[in-house]
Amino acid sequence: MSDEIKHAGIKGYVIMGGVVAFLLFVVLVIYLYKANQAFVPEDPELYGTLINGMRGLWG
């Protein structure tokens, strides 16, 4: 009887650990998404001169 209780407790810890790991993964993905968007310029033409200059050098 106590063996069943012990296995039920282990299953509970495994499920709880999986849920916590999933939540941490979601938080990590959201953080990386927001951090990646932080350095995108609002006006992409701001760097147009630099890009055109590099195109002139390469091709």
Query: What pLDDT tens digit does each residue of the chain (59 aa) get?
Result: 567 767 778 888 999 999 999 999 999 999 999 888 777 767 666 667 777 777 777 75
Query: What is the per-residue pLDDT for 15?
Result: 94
- Give the end-to-end CA distance of the chain in Å, rounded to a whole number: 78
Q: Are 41 and 47 in contact (CB under 8 A)?
A: yes
Alpha helices in the chain (DSSP H): 2-37, 48-58
> Can you give the pTM of this predicted structure?
0.56
Domain ranges of the chain: 2-58
Q: Is 54 exposed, middle or buried (0-12, 13-18, 19+ CB in 10 A)?
A: exposed
